Chains A and B, each alone.
Chain A
Amino acid sequence: MNEFVAEAATKTNFTPIDWCIVVAYLLVSLAIGLVVKRFATSMSAYIAAGRNVGVWLGVASMTGTELGLITVMYSAEKGFKGGFAAFHIAVLAGMVTFVIGVTGFIVAPLRETGVLTIPEYYGRRYGNRTRILGGIILAGGGILNMGLFLKVGSMFIVGVTGLSQQGWAMPVVMTTLLALVLVYTVLGGMISVIVTDYIQFVVLAFGLLLATWLAVAKLGWDNIFTTVESTMGAGGFNPFVSEGHFGVEYVLWMAFLGIVGCALWPTAVARALAMESTEAVKRGFRWSSISFTIRFLIPYFWGICALVFFVHHEPQLAAAFGIGGESSPNGEPPANALYAMPLFIGRLLPAGVIGIVSAAMIAAFMSTHDSYLLCWSSVIVQDVIAPLSQKRLDTKTRVLLTRISIVAIGVYIWAWGLFYKGRDDIWDYMAITGAIYFTGAFALLAGGLYWKRASSTGAFCALIAGCSAVIGLAPIRDPVAGVVLAALGREASPAAVAEFLTSARVGLGTICFTLVVFVVVSLLFPDAAKQEDSEATEGAT
């Protein structure tokens, strides 16, 4: 961390009272995991809560899962850098979720099939080899995607509590939070995830609203907008202007990510598959459109408020973050924008309230981790290990393997958080790692549910084609873009490379490539049974 910012982070309002609130909240979550353990007696109960989740509980759980601390952090970073123009992402996400709640696109027919996981659907529609490959890619992309959750969540904790100057703080906070989540997730499975998600939703929702109200009261409603206008100009409001942070390609990419976030992303789909009926799924999605908007909108607003606060009340911090192109007071490069929001929250909220909001943020952290850990581990067991196993696995073995997978993934995200040094924006990193899975999934699910000629060979090739999204990650993208630019005889400076292969361009390109592969290969290599049916029909006519 920038030394000036680290020094500034120690001037927080976080007191021992706030620590007590946070610790009490953590202990309650842990106790719930222990109490509900006795209900996790079957695989269906362990990974889908026995399919007994009602609409309101489903909405609370989906909100808790998808509004993680990582979401709050990267969204605040986007708002801090891009201003109100970032709001377009939130609006698109909400609109797309509402449309899916009305039409039931993908999620309703998927729920009707009665599958527990997305690769299980691949298995039914395209065969076992597609299920196994789909399971490997889904779990691989998903686990890579959550690789930075722990680190970024811990950055919030050390930023808001003032622990950031201590060298030991990050690894200790990372280890403690991870251990707590692992304990209650491993013990209670989806039942404890759903119940803790509900409590986390309540704490989180009230915490978000309270902090937002305090921010507006402190900074002034009109002042927030006029400061963004004077600092960022039109680019702070209009997502399409060239001097802004986004652009047309980016907006299109975000529209597609809106579909992904609610209809393709396995943790959101897992909620749909655990709900009691198709009608409950659609109703749940219509209500969740509000939370899918708010999960981005409020953190963007907090990021914007952080910028306004620094400009008016902490000009040295504003300079340390490079606001308005100013240079840092100690001559260092601009500080990591991820720290802006926690520093702002640490200064804005009074003692006591900051403990409640921090507990809300930790709630966001835990509700995301538990669902993601359970989702990826159940896919590994149900869709990779079980189909590859020579003998049928009983429930006890499956639950045990799921628990082992949860712990193994936990160890991985702990190590990845400590060692990955990519330069990507967190949101762009997540979009690209997620694209490894969801570009193929979009083709397979939409094609399988709505296109009769989709074939298993086309599905298999589309899954592999979707992996090309990995090119968008900075450590791979930079050398690839450098080689391509050099081959085109153009300058391959870091700025030119970043401009040439943006995450939006890579993402959109991968989607088009995957869809073309899926359609062309399906037409060239139809499934044998369907081909025979088709020939028989033609012969009969």
Chain B
Amino acid sequence: MSWMLLWKVVLLVTIGCFSIMTIVVTIGGALDIRRLFERLKEDRDEEA
């Protein structure tokens, strides 16, 4: 395999994976933020 072909494949595959990851992390991260604040609120209430 030539270097040029290798980098073409690497670029396409990586951007494809990153596109999928962006969607997954955007949705999963929003749910994680909600959970984070619930737990922080519990911690704060316990301290109070």
A residues at B contact (CB < 8 Å): 38-39, 41-42, 45, 49-50, 52-60, 63, 84-85, 87, 90-91, 94, 191, 194-195, 198, 201-202, 205-206, 208-209, 212, 225, 229, 234, 237-238, 287, 290-291, 293-294, 297-298, 301
Q: Are A52 and B29 in contact (CB under 8 A)?
A: no
Q: How far is the CA of A55 from the CA of B32 in the complex (A)?
A: 8
Nearest CB of chain A from residue B32's CB, rounded to whole Å: 3
Q: Are B36 and A201 in contact (CB under 8 A)?
A: no
Q: Are A39 and B10 in contact (CB under 8 A)?
A: no
Least CB separation from A44: chain B residue: B43
Q: How far is the CA of A195 from the CA of B21 in the complex (A)?
A: 18
Chain B residues near A290 (CB, 8 Å)?
Answer: 14, 17-18, 21
Selected A-B contacts with CB under 8 Å, 16 pairs:
A39-B41, A39-B44, A42-B43, A45-B40, A52-B36, A53-B32, A54-B36, A56-B29, A57-B33, A59-B29, A195-B33, A198-B33, A201-B26, A209-B19, A237-B3, A290-B17
Nearest CB of chain A from residue B6's CB, rounded to whole Å: 8
Nearest CB of chain A from residue B21's CB, rounded to whole Å: 5
- 8 Å CB interface, B16-47 against A: 17-19, 21-22, 24-33, 35-37, 39-41, 43-44, 47
Nearest CB of chain A from residue B13's CB, rounded to whole Å: 10
Q: How far is the CA of A56 from the CA of B14 in the complex (A)?
A: 19
Task: Among B32, B37, B43, find the residue whose CB has the most chain A CB atoms closer than 10 A.
Answer: B32
Q: Are B15 and A212 in contact (CB under 8 A)?
A: yes
Q: How far is the CA of A202 from the CA of B10 in the complex (A)?
A: 23
Q: Are B7 and A84 in contact (CB under 8 A)?
A: yes
Nearest CB of chain A from residue B23's CB, rounded to whole Å: 9
Q: How far is the CA of A287 from the CA of B24 in the complex (A)?
A: 10
Q: Are B29 and A294 in contact (CB under 8 A)?
A: no
How many chain B residues touch A (Cβ–Cβ < 8 Å)?
33
Nearest CB of chain B from residue A415's CB, rounded to whole Å: 36
Q: Are B40 and A294 in contact (CB under 8 A)?
A: no
Chain A residues near B8 (CB, 8 Å)?
Answer: 225
Chain B residues near A63 (CB, 8 Å)?
Answer: 25
B residues at A contact (CB < 8 Å): 2-4, 7-8, 10-11, 14-15, 17-19, 21-22, 24-33, 35-37, 39-41, 43-44, 47
Given A50-B39, A56-B32, A57-B29, are A94 and B14 also a contact pair (CB < 8 Å)? Answer: yes
Choose from A41, A56, A291 the contact partner of B18 (Cβ within 8 Å).
A291
Q: Are A209 and B18 in contact (CB under 8 A)?
A: yes
Least CB separation from A288: chain B residue: B21
Chain A residues near B32 (CB, 8 Å)?
Answer: 53-58
Nearest CB of chain A from residue B19's CB, rounded to whole Å: 6
Task: Among B8, B25, B36, B44, find the residue whose CB has the most chain A CB atoms closer than 10 A.
Answer: B25
Chain B residues near A50 (CB, 8 Å)?
Answer: 39-40, 43
Q: How far is the CA of A234 from the CA of B32 in the complex (A)?
A: 46
Given A49-B36, A291-B18, are A202 and B47 also a contact pair (CB < 8 Å)? Answer: no
Q: Are A237 and B7 in contact (CB under 8 A)?
A: yes
Q: How far is the CA of A445 from the CA of B25 in the complex (A)?
A: 30
Choose from B18, B36, B44 the contact partner of A294 (Cβ within 8 Å).
B18
Q: Are A201 and B29 in contact (CB under 8 A)?
A: yes
Chain B residues near A45 (CB, 8 Å)?
Answer: 40, 43
Known: A54-B36, A205-B22, A298-B18. 19 other contacts (CB 8 A): A39-B41, A42-B43, A52-B40, A53-B36, A54-B32, A55-B28, A55-B32, A57-B29, A57-B32, A59-B28, A60-B25, A84-B4, A84-B7, A198-B33, A201-B29, A209-B15, A237-B7, A287-B25, A293-B14
